Structure 1
Amino acid sequence: MSGRIARPRLTPAYRVVLALGGPVMRPWSRLEVSGLDVLPREGPTLLVADHDSYWDPIAIGYAARRVRQVRALSKSTLWKTPLTAWFMTGMGHIPVQRGVNNDEALRVAIEQLRAGVCIGMFPEGTRSLGRVLRAHSGVGRLAAAVPEAAVVCVRTTGSADVVRFPVRPRVRVEFYLPSGGPLRPGEDAASFSQRLLDELREGAPREIPGRRRTAARYRAALRSSTGGQ
């Protein structure tokens, strides 16, 4: 028998996106990956990540490509055009609308999780843009609904620098198991989500993305929201 590990099954759309994003991640972004051994190759898995840049999902997907496909809850506006809708659906992502009840999206995510899929979630719900955001309860709700699911965290740093040409970024993706373990007896969904986010941010300080003008606009908005502090 061969000792080779079978490659994971990736959908065609997922393969195309990784093929396009691959050169950006490596060699341009000098991607470094650690802790990948904690990500199960099969079975229900909840992958929880910090979010500062649009490049985070690409970095995580590329880092995990030899282990398994990640299907994420993503903002519904990515389905607005036929082409992006084809890719998002083809990659198995689940649309989420901001500011409204997303019980249907969570129901779909729970069904897929129970079927053995790896579901990726950003507990902050959006890019931080340097802000301190509270975790949404969705991560905890999925963990409570599918207690047999493995919970894995993944930190991404350096992704905010990907577009700052000619300066080359150094993107690091770190997979790890939460130090406090999975959902504890009596721990509510919101508290669990916040616990994971706090640990993520211990090793992934909030970053402001974008090139000079865009980053300056985000910094100005951040100063305004914090009273110039």
Structure 2
Amino acid sequence: MTSPTSPLLQQRWTHRLMRRFLGVMLPLFFKVYGRWKLVGAENVPETGAVLFAVNHSSNLDPLLGWAALYRYRILWGIAKEELFKPGLPKFLMESLRSIPVKRGVADRAMFRAALEVLGQGDTLGIFPEGTRTHDGKLNVAQPGFTLLAQKSKAILIPVALIGTYEMLPRGAKRLKRVPLTVVFGKPISPDTPREELGALVMSEIARLMTEAGFPTEPPLPNAPAPPVD
């Protein structure tokens, strides 16, 4: 990626150094503790802009998704601004190339930064549901996701994370040792009509989870969005 114009994308050499460290330690942790399995890595394009649409059920999801892709592409992501507390938390989030988002409002700065990442041929991970599930089930995709997908025209790859809800659900203080699976699906056309795209992506994630041995139903089209926390 060339030198970014958005202040949300600025990186220092210390970020790059920490990223190399995390690029070793996070995959090692998930391999040893989570006995992870990666499926469909051949669907990850080696070059070009890619938007990864990932289900969200645990605070482990950003770390697992980032670690799973590290050997193929170094991922940018979007995370709630509350995680960017001054000091070490902010430094770690920036090292993971996370873009802060103000939730509950139209965050134009985040949206411009995300478009810049994809416009320069990089990769971006996003949780279409907008927040973690409360019960392990899939939620409906939010309008901001479909708008970004269509504005960017990036290759859209659905990704299913399996096992993170069981390992660290909402409110849990300790990790449970359960196997983890990451499934990369085949590309979905960003030219799909916007009113259909969100449901199509979530249905594809449900299909990937089911085929991986974790039967999952797609969310009902008119289901209410979960409360943001």
Tell me the TM-score range normalised by the shorter chain.
0.7 to 0.9
SS in 2 for 1:11: helix
- Residue among 138, 141, 160 paired with 2:144: 138
1:101-120 C-alpha deviation (Å, 9 max, x unpaired): 12221111001100011010
**Counterparts in 2 of 1:118 and 1:52: CA distance versus 1, 3 Å:** same
Cα deviation for residue 53 of structure 1 reads 1.0
CA distance in 2, matches of 1:160, 1:167: 10
Considering only CA atoms, is the larger Rg found in Structure 1 or Structure 2? 1
**Counterparts in 2 of 1:20 and 1:66: CA distance versus 1, 3 Å:** closer
CA distance in 2, matches of 1:160, 1:11: 30
Tell me, yes or no, if structure 1 residue 158 matches structure 2 residue 160. Answer: no
**1:220 aligns to what?**
none
CA distance in 1, matches of 2:40, 2:138: 26
Tell me, yes or no, if structure 1 residue 173 matches structure 2 residue 179. Answer: no
**Counterparts in 2 of 1:118 and 1:34: CA distance versus 1, 3 Å:** same
How is 1:74-223 mapped onto 2 (pairs within 5 angstroms)? 74-130=79-135, 133-147=139-153, 149-163=154-168, 168-178=177-187, 181-184=188-191, 187-188=193-194, 190-204=195-209
**Counterparts in 2 of 1:111 and 1:29: CA distance versus 1, 3 Å:** same
CA distance in 2, matches of 1:115, 1:128: 32
- Is the CA contact 1:52–1:206 (under 8 Å) kept in the aligned structure 2? no
**Counterparts in 2 of 1:124 and 1:73: CA distance versus 1, 3 Å:** same
Cα deviation for residue 49 of structure 1 reads 0.5
For structure 2, the residue ranges without an aligned partner over 5 or more in a row are 1-14, 217-225
**Counterparts in 2 of 1:144 and 1:133: CA distance versus 1, 3 Å:** same
CA distance in 2, matches of 1:32, 1:14: 22
Tell me, yes or no, if structure 1 residue 66 matches structure 2 residue 71. Answer: yes
Moved more, 35-44 or 155-164: 155-164
CA distance in 1, matches of 2:134, 2:18: 29
Q: How many residues align?
A: 194
Q: CA RMSD in A?
A: 2.5
Specify the code of the residue in structure 1 equivalent to 2:41.
Answer: L
**2:44 aligns to what?**
39
**1:12 aligns to what?**
17
TM-score w.r.t. length of structure 1: 0.75
Over the matched positions of the two proteins, sequence identity in percent amounts to: 25
